[in-house]
Structure 1
Amino acid sequence: MTYYLIAGERSGDLHGANLIKAIRERDPAAQCRAYGGEQMEAAGATLVRHYRDMAFMGFLEVVKNLGTIRRIMRECQADLLAHRPDVLILIDYAGFNLRMARFARKHGIRVFYYISPKVWAWNQRRALNIKANVDRLFTILPFETEFFAKYEYNVDYVGNPLLDALAAFQPDPDFRQENGLDERPIIALLPGSRHQEITSILPTMLASTRGFDTYQFVVGTVSNLPTSLYDALLADYPHVRRVNDAAYDLLHLATAALVTSGTATLETALFNVPQVVCYKTTFISYAIARRLIAVPFISLVNLIANREVVKELIQADLTPANVANELRAVLPTGVKRSDLLAGYTDVQEKMGEPGASERAGRAMVQALQQG
């Protein structure tokens, strides 16, 4: 059978790759075509367009790039009709993918959605859009089943694919030596994978690193962004090292972390690394978001726990002084560390067991075989 997958960011590329592997275990002759990244391509998909062309963050940035987004969507729609797959599999990336779901439905193409858009966070009635245009929704967060039940929509909760990625992770025993790191404890800086996240958040993270002489700071960089971007920001911080495309190896060794809000906050919690969550966007985007957001937290850790486990420093609160103070509080001698780690235990219990990718892939192939 033929599968057409769309992921619009780095984490979606990871989960899409694991899903492709699971699909091919059940359907060895599967043909996959994708909007995604290197990991989906490595898993065997024909890559049509890279997600870096589509990764716009915040309301203002989306508006500024509407022309580009619409052009890419028209290209995607034309390619979808040219290949007419057995199923369109959408991975998160709500603004683009919900429109693609409607388009595919209109043209008689079956639609599966893996990793639900965060419709529970804002504009919750978009759940009706999903119900109308998505044949099967495969969710990864434990509270989503109850949320969609309010709209009389039954979903397939398959667990979280991050657990699969962590279960498959094999730490590099020579990581410190290969990256020029000494034996001091490591504080990881994970500023995100989008250009705007790096330029908005990493400078504040870096400015908070002074005065921690018994620790070494290491930035997790990503290869889908130019090295020159990091070079410019790190120029005044010779004490800060960097490692590329190695977030898991970095978290495996880290004592604490500063993390941009997103999937990485949950990954950090699953590695049991105390963290401070950081987020900042443009003034206009933030003003709009404040009016629309329907949940009390922005980090997945706190949303799953349904209480504050990790500190969220958002917008004006994201200052070097605040970051440094919160970081000290979660270091081994800090006053918040033990409570935070206890909170992680609650989150990890709610997450369940690995196997999400395999469960989702199996269910998708079975549904298609049954017609």
Structure 2
Amino acid sequence: MKYYLVAGEASGDLHGANLMKALKLEDNEAVFRYFGGDKMQAEGGELVKHYVDMAFMGFTEVLLNLRTIFKNLKKCKEDVLHWQPDVLILIDFPGFNLKIAEFAKANNIKVCYYISPKVWAWNQKRVLKIKRVVDRMFCILPFEVDFYKEWGMDVDYVGNPLLDEQAKFSPDAGFLEKNQLSHQKIIALLPGSRKQEIERLLPVMLSITGNFPDYQFAIAAAPTFDENYYHQFTGNKKVSLLFDNTYNLLYHAHAAIVASGTATLETALFKVPQVVVYRGGAISITIARMLVKIKFISLVNLIVNKKIVTELIQEDCNTQKVNDELQFIISGEGRNAMLKNYDDLLKLMGKPGASEKTARLIFSYFKSHKSKDH
């Protein structure tokens, strides 16, 4: 079958690549075309557009880049229509992907969605649109099944693909030496992969390094930037820079300061106590506070539906508070409580195998449709 995938950021590229790998095992005639990144490209098929040109976060940033976004939408629609896939697989990235879903549905192309848009967070009526334009929804967060059921929509919970990633991971024995790290305990800094995130969060993260002389700090650097880009923030600070090596860093880390997003869950799966931070543009945050209907922003807290990790958002994301929270989780009761709560999270998450389960369901469901069409 012909599969067209659309992923618009680094995490989507990772999950898309794993799904492609699993689909090739299910379907020996699988052919791929996609908007994605390097990891998907390594699985074969045709890369049409790289996610680096697509990822904008926050209301203001989206407005400032509307022309690029519309150009990307137009290109994607034209390419999907021209290629006529048997199934379109949309991965997260809802602002863009729901528009593509609507277009595909109007042109009789089967649509499945892997990793649900966070419709439970704000503007829940978007579920009605999803019901209309998506043929199958594959969810990776356990509470989403009940949420969709309340809106009269059956979805598949396939487990979380991060569990697959962690299961595949094997630590690099020479990691410390290769990266010139000492045997001091490591505090990992995960400032995100987008330019806006890094520029807002990394200076705050770095502002506390001098207060922890007994620890060494290491940044999980995004492969889309180079060393010079990060050096403008680190200056003369003694901080290591590790590109594309986040799991080894988390495996060795004693604690972490993490940008809100998928990385908070990855950090928890490695059982690393963390402080979650987030800063958006002032206008974006004001709008978000009016619209967003959830108690937490980190996936860790959302899944367990209670506060496990501290979230320092906007004005709370400052040197003093980050310093105090990090102090609280590097030893003693704060650390022990967080590690104990991580056990509850892991129970709810289930077992690895999300990519394989999703591939199996996509192939079985859409294969039957293909045979009806011919």
Given residue 53 of structure 1, which amino acid in structure 2 is its aligned partner? D
Partner of 2:92: 92
Given residue 300 of structure 1, which amino acid in structure 2 is its aligned partner? L
Partner of 1:304: 303
Aligned pairs for 1:311-330 (under 5 A) are: 311-330=310-329
Q: TM-score, normalised by structure 1?
A: 0.98
1:370 to 365, 368, 371: 368
Partner of 1:248: 247
Structure 2: how far apart are the matches of 1:302 and 1:73? 33
Given residue 229 of structure 1, which amino acid in structure 2 is its aligned partner? Y
Deviation (angstroms), 1:227: 3.1
**Which secondary structure does the structure 1 equivalent of 2:210 belong to?**
coil
Structure 2: how far apart are the matches of 1:9 and 1:57? 11
Structure 2: how far apart are the matches of 1:203 and 1:335? 28
The question of 1:53 aligning with 2:53 is answered yes
Deviation (angstroms), 1:223: 1.2
The question of 1:357 aligning with 2:352 is answered no
Two-structure CA RMSD over aligned residues (Å)? 0.8
**Which secondary structure does the structure 2 equivalent of 1:349 belong to?**
helix
Given residue 323 of structure 1, which amino acid in structure 2 is its aligned partner? V
Aligned pairs for 1:1-371 (under 5 A) are: 1-237=1-237, 239-331=238-330, 333-371=331-369
Structure 2: how far apart are the matches of 1:155 and 1:52? 30
Cα deviations across residues 217-244 of structure 1 (Å, max 9, x unaligned)? 000101112433212111141x111100
Structure 1: how far apart are the matches of 2:145 and 2:70? 32
Q: Which runs of 5+ in 2 are unaligned?
A: 370-374
**Which secondary structure does the structure 2 equivalent of 1:285 belong to?**
helix
**Which secondary structure does the structure 1 equivalent of 2:48 belong to?**
strand
Deviation (angstroms), 1:45: 3.2
Given residue 297 of structure 2, which amino acid in structure 1 is its aligned partner? I
Structure 1: how far apart are the matches of 2:195 and 2:155? 34
Given residue 368 of structure 1, which amino acid in structure 2 is its aligned partner? F
**Which secondary structure does the structure 2 equivalent of 1:102 belong to?**
helix
Matched residues, number: 369
| Contact 1:7 1:16 (8 Å CA) reproduced | yes
Cα deviations across residues 22-42 of structure 1 (Å, max 9, x unaligned)? 100011221111111111111
Q: TM-score, normalised by structure 2?
A: 0.97
Given residue 4 of structure 2, which amino acid in structure 1 is its aligned partner? Y
Structure 1: how far apart are the matches of 2:27 and 2:242? 37
**Which secondary structure does the structure 2 equivalent of 1:33 belong to?**
strand
Structure 2: how far apart are the matches of 1:315 and 1:43? 39
**Which secondary structure does the structure 1 equivalent of 2:287 belong to?**
helix
Identity %: 52
**Which secondary structure does the structure 1 equivalent of 2:176 belong to?**
helix
Cα deviations across residues 27-78 of structure 1 (Å, max 9, x unaligned)? 1221111111111111223111111111101011001111110011001111
Structure 2: how far apart are the matches of 1:294 and 1:23? 36
Structure 1: how far apart are the matches of 2:308 and 2:186? 21
Structure 1: how far apart are the matches of 2:112 and 2:303? 24
| Contact 1:194 1:225 (8 Å CA) reproduced | no
Query: Which consecutive segments of 4 or more residues in structure 1 shift more than 6 A?
Result: none
Structure 2: how far apart are the matches of 1:156 and 1:363? 9
Given residue 367 of structure 2, which amino acid in structure 1 is its aligned partner? Q
| Contact 1:328 1:334 (8 Å CA) reproduced | no
Structure 2: how far apart are the matches of 1:78 and 1:260? 35
Partner of 2:372: none
Q: Which runs of 5+ in 1 are unaligned?
A: none
Deviation (angstroms), 1:208: 1.4
Deviation (angstroms), 1:124: 0.8
**Which secondary structure does the structure 2 equivalent of 1:354 belong to?**
coil
